[in-house]
């Protein structure tokens, strides 16, 4: 007689019963919630918090922050070194055209008498002084203290008591939302780690309906002019910069940032992603500089 199998000896109520093979979920009230969260994560294709993907992303974000901090420190030190000759070289290297570009930026900001303007990356306060002559109250912010000291000296001589200067980073502005009627930044967006984040900060501190204006050096679109300008940037600017300031590296770095920076169309897209509306741009002097403008909704 063939012996009965062990399975046949089990009570019928346990044979094939799922609850006999794993604990009952009723005694583990958290399990249904964990399963639901797991299904949601799978549907969204999100990695688990302790997964290798999340750890890698965390490492990448940390590395990006370190690179941004290194760039900020390097640029600050570079401008501190060339601060004594900064105004002179701006005038010489641009053939004094930069003053007209700054006036165009103030025109684009639609300033009225008595309004409050933030001159971001004010440097030695050239834009701030030009705005003060129009009857505008101005706050100038920059991350380089030596440039601000020179700007403060110029303000005491030309517009005492009408301009306030402060230290500040373009991507971490120390102002409340909607503090200014307009914000203008000149020749600095290509030096910040994240142009889109800086534009978002500019939008944040602008009141609703106010204008955000960015003036930046760009590459000319005309092929002949672009070729001549590239020769000027690569050879004339470093030599003249070294001759006047004694710092050849700074005036080799600055032309390179112009060549490597985004096109006007890409900067306009940064403006839109930062939350600005009615974004437009205007090339100046054949595209040697470009003026971008957007309105805070």
pLDDT at residue 122, rounded to an integer = 98
pTM of the model as a whole? 0.77
Name beta bridge partners: 217.
289
Structure confidence by residue, pLDDT tens digits, 184-210: 999 999 999 999 999 999 999 999 999
Assign residue 209 a region (left: φ > 0; alpha: ψ between -120 and 50; beta: otherwise).
Answer: left
What does the pLDDT average to over 229-249?
93
Enumerate the domain spans of the chain. 94-218+262-295, 220-260
Confidence of residue 27 (pLDDT cuts 50, 70, 90): very low
Q: What homologous superfamily is domain 94-218+262-295 in, according to CATH? A: Vaccinia Virus protein VP39 (3.40.50.150)
Asked whether residue 63 carries a pLDDT value surpassing 60, the answer given is no
More confident call, 225 vs 17: 225
Confidence of residue 67 (pLDDT cuts 50, 70, 90): low
Alpha helices in 109-249 (DSSP H): 126-132, 145-158, 195-204, 223-231, 237-245
């Amino acid at each position: 007689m063939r012996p009965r199998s062990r399975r046949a000896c089990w009570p019928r109520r346990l044979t094939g019963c799922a609850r006999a093979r794993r604990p009952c979920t009723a005694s583990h009230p958290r399990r249904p919630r964990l399963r639901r969260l797991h299904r949601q994560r799978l549907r969204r294709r999100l990695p688990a918090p302790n997964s290798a993907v999340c750890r890698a992303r965390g490492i990448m974000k940390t590395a990006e922050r370190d690179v941004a901090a290194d760039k900020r420190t390097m640029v600050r030190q570079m401008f501190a070194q060339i601060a004594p000759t900064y105004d002179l070289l701006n005038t010489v290297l641009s053939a004094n055209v930069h003053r007209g570009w700054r006036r165009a930026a103030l025109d684009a900001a639609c300033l009225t008498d008595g309004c409050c303007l933030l001159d971001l990356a004010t440097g030695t306060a050239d834009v701030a002084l030009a705005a003060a002559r129009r009857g505008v109250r101005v706050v100038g912010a920059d991350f380089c203290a030596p440039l601000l000291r020179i700007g403060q000296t110029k303000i005491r001589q030309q517009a005492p008591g009408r301009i306030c200067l402060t230290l500040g980073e373009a991507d971490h502005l120390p102002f409340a939302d909607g503090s200014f009627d307009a914000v203008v930044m000149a020749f600095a967006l290509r030096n910040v780690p994240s142009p889109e984040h800086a534009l978002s900060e500019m939008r944040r501190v602008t009141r609703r309906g106010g204008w955000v204006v960015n003036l930046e050096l760009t590459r000319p679109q005309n092929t002949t002019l672009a070729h001549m300008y590239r020769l000027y940037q690569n050879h004339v600017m470093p030599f003249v910069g070294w001759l006047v300031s004694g710092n050849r590296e700074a005036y080799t770095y600055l032309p390179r940032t112009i060549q490597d920076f985004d096109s006007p169309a890409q900067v306009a897209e940064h403006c839109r992603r930062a939350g600005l509306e009615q974004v437009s741009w205007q090339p100046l002097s054949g595209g040697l500089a470009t003026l971008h403008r957007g309105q805070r909704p």
